[in-house]
Structure 1
Amino acid sequence: MESLPSPFYPVLAAGVAACVAYLFYLAVLEPQWNPLRRLPGPPVRSFFGNHMGFVLDPSRSPRVHEAFVKHYGRNLRIRGFLPWDQRLFTLDPVSLAHILKHSTTYEKPWQSRALISSLIGVGMLAAEGHMHKRQRRVSTPAFSVQNMRALVPVTFQKGVELRDRWLALIAEVRSGAEAGTQGARLDVCHWVSRATFDVIGLAGFDYEFNAIHDESNELFAAYKEMFEIAVSQQGGGLWELAIVYAPILDRFAPGPRYGVVKKSQEVIKRVAGRLIQEKKRKIEEAEKAGSIYGGKDLLSALLRSNAAADLPPDQRISDEDILHNINTFMFAGSDTSSLSVTWILYLLSVYPDVQTRLRAELLSIAPTVPLESLTQDEIASLYTKIAELPYLENVIRETLRLIPPVHSSIRVATQDDVVPTSTPVKLSTPDGEYEEADSFLMPKGSCVHVPIEAFNLDREVWGPDGWQFKPDRWDNLPEAVKAQPGLYNNILTFSAGPRSCIGVKFSIIEIKMFMFILVTNFKFAECDKVGKANVVLTRPYIMGKHREGSQCPLLVIPYTPETPA
């Protein structure tokens, strides 16, 4: 006797049919109906073809971006990683300013937020809407000019420690090398990263990693491993892409990434969580004694701001949110600053005339006494002079323009929106013709590719030499630059609008102080050809040795006034 068909089979068949129908809609029908199809854009060569490899690879993206504008205009359509992923690519300053200004209409997509929050929690990088506004409001006082200036001695101290560590390493190399050896081959990317971790540890929550001298600290190792394994060493393959769109896969088939992140987060929650409770106790004890706790680190400022009497209770953030934001400061404040300093030193090695001129300017305000003998007031006075140096400012601006640590970003429209344009855009019509318009429809659910590097390098704006390293350009900028959006000097390196970088002042202080100490004490020469790779951030790699990981080796030679600059 034949068995009756299980009632499960029709349900399963219906489910499979529904999934197939939905995928057919996403892959075939929805892209045809997407209003972005009216924008011009480059073709794809296959059903699963996309343009992301072209626009994300810094070794070719400047040429790609320029070709896009030449052939399709400043607002165009590109395809993301999946067939239904139609994206707006814009190099129109009016369009982009509109998108970055309306941060509640254009949010980070859930995939980006999921990746960020899986690592560092829902801090300001991952939060959206009211949660982001609340966190930003509480955090803003911590980043005031006064608080940032109070952290100058911390950066100075770590800059001097890095100088001394390099001098010791060079002395070791000299003692075991042939006579006449002047310097040593040092991976400045590695060493500057250790120094910036030390700075953000002290500046962030008054915690000494001591990473310049030793990498064994438990909390330092937890942050470093999590950022290295989960972010810097992403292969960009199908499995990494699948995890971004379906994070649950990481739990069902956990690889090295999942284990490292889980272990690191346990350490961070335990150690950093204890630091938060200790800070809260000190603040409460000071209040009971009728005084104000004088901690100058960001955590102390954050806790004081969060407990302010004029802050309504419903606007305060939880201890968990505070921990997430400390993690955010660690992530955003260590890697981006270290990469900025690394790229400046590399460019100075490639352009020795710029290095010599910069050193002369820095030496013109150098104290006549040893740096380690300076008092805190003298350090503050020295930084005031450093901050006003015009050529140093130009070199930093030009490096941040030419090699922004964040190559590009992405936003998703949370509702239909009309995007204005600076010049008319050609839109296709149902009858196969074209019409010009001063705006276009951005449909809900579609993404915007924000090409940060492309805005910074746009030769129609910055001039024919826009791809070249020329610090003097900042003394006489083209008029078109003034129309560019950007928090910092009309470049997008620190983004723009309500989601712009809250730590920009601290980053500039750190970069300038490190440059003063390092360039007045060392000469830098190129010893390997270094290229750029976009691995979440724009990192240096030795050309042809990408598998060896991110590194930027330079010949570092102690500078003394007796030797030629």
Structure 2
Amino acid sequence: MIANNGNESKGDDNEEYETTDRRRRMAFLDSLLSEHFRNSEFTEEDIREEVDTFMFEGHDTTSMAISWTLHLIGLNPDIQDKCHQELDAVLNASADDWVGERRMISMNELREMKYLEACIKEALRLYPSVPFVGRHLNEDTTINGYAVPAGVTCLVFLYQVHRDPQCFPQPEVYRPERFLDNSHMTRHPFAFVPFSAGARNCIGQKFALLEEKTILATILRNYTIKSLDHTDVIKIAPELVIRPKTPIRMQFTPRL
């Protein structure tokens, strides 16, 4: 990428950022540079801070989302079988073909992994990487009959929101099909918000899902996994990012 005073960067890969109506979709850093050239008050230091936030805030939350997803898949052999079947079909190869050199997974193949994505979302429902978010009220409101004045900061406990039995029957059951059937059509739009929602939602949520799908697909195409401890015995640490107090023990067996 070459910055050119806010104009489009020049390079052979520009077509990757073109949409069907020929409007260019700018990458994250391109957008920051464009704003820097447009607005002198948005400094290079501001750009560095935004990049630091994007990179730092993403590594811990993403790694824990991957860990919880592996743990839950490893507890459910039937779900893992469906993941393997989908990977075999999407990658158009049998497990035997993966022995030796393995090619990279393409973006189009990642988009086709609908069941794996549902597995990730269901894991994020049970273990949202950030279990609570805060919101400052700009106006008076009423919540469940209680008057809450403007100026108050409300903490929304996403860990509990995602366990509402009215929206998610048998909420403690790991069932990825929740995100494949038609139930999401009638579900409240804020019943599932692992990346928060509104103007302050997670800027990197799409990138995070792509990272998680890529890593999980790479692991599951090569291994059969087994969780050595049931969820009931894993204690959760009360921290900003939801994590276990003790290591999540897994067994990995190469797929033959």
Distance in 2 of aligned mates of 1:283 and 1:293: 11
The alpha-carbon distance between structure 1 residues 395 and 291, as it changes in their structure 2 partners (threshold 3 A), is closer
> Which residue of 118, 140, 159 maps to 1:418?
140
Question: Residues 479, 302 of structure 1: CA spacing in aligned structure 2 closer, same or farther, 3 A cutoff?
Answer: closer
Aligned to 2:22: none
Partner of 2:133: 409
Three-state SS of the structure 1 residue aligned to 2:235 is strand
Check if 1:330 corresponds to 2:48: no
Rg (Cα) greater in structure: 1
Contact 2:91 2:109 (8 Å CA) reproduced: no
SS at match of 1:492: coil
Answering whether residue 249 of structure 2 is matched by residue 553 of structure 1, we say yes
Deviates more, 1:449-458 or 1:364-373: 364-373
TM-score (norm 2): 0.79
SS of the aligned residue for 2:172 comes to: coil
Pairing 1:530–2:213 present: no
Residue 198 of structure 2 corresponds to which residue in structure 1? 497
Query: Which position in structure 1 is the counterpart of 2:212?
Result: 511
Q: Which has the higher helix share?
A: 1
Aligned positions of 1:151-230 closer than 5 A: none
For the structure 1 residues 478 and 284, does the alpha-carbon distance in structure 2 shift closer, same or farther, using more than 3 Å as the test? closer
1:292 aligns with 2:14: no
Q: What one-letter code is carried by the residue in structure 1 that aligns with 2:141?
A: V
1:527 shift after superposition: 2.2
The residue type equivalent to 1:450 in the other structure is V
Cα distance, 1:298 vs structure 2: 6.0
* Identity, % of aligned positions: 25
One-letter amino acid of the counterpart of residue 419, structure 1:
T
CA distance in 2, matches of 1:472, 1:283: 45
Question: What does residue range 337-486 of structure 1 map to in structure 2 within 5 Å?
Answer: 337-368=62-93, 374=103, 379-380=105-106, 383-413=107-137, 415=138, 417-421=139-143, 425=145, 440-444=147-151, 446-463=152-169, 465-474=170-179, 475-477=181-183, 481=187, 483-485=188-190
Task: Give, as a single letter, the amino acid of the residue that structure 2 aligns with 1:502.
Answer: I
Give the gaps of 5 or more residues in structure 1: 1-278, 428-439, 543-550, 561-565
- Give the superposed CA RMSD: 3.1
Distance 1:356 1:496, change over 3 A: same
The answer on whether the counterparts of 1:459 and 1:467 sit within 8 Å (CA) in structure 2 is no
Aligned equivalents of 2:33, 2:48: Cα separation in 1: 15
Q: Give yes or no for contact 1:462–1:478 (8 Å, CA) kept in 2.
A: no
DSSP-derived class of the 1:461 partner: coil
Q: Give aligned pairs, total.
A: 236
Aligned CA distance change for structure 1 residues 479 and 512 (closer, same or farther; 3 Å): closer
1:457 aligned counterpart, secondary structure? coil
Unaligned runs of 5+ in 2: 15-25
Shift of 1:480: 5.4
Whether the 8 Å CA contact 2:131–2:157 is kept in 1: the answer is yes
Whether contact under 8 Å (1:362, 1:520) holds in the other structure is: yes
TM-superposed deviation, 1:553: 2.5
Structure 2 CA distance for partners of 1:299 and 1:480, relative to 1, 3 Å: closer
Is the CA contact (8 Å cut-off) linking 2:90 and 2:113 kept in structure 1? no
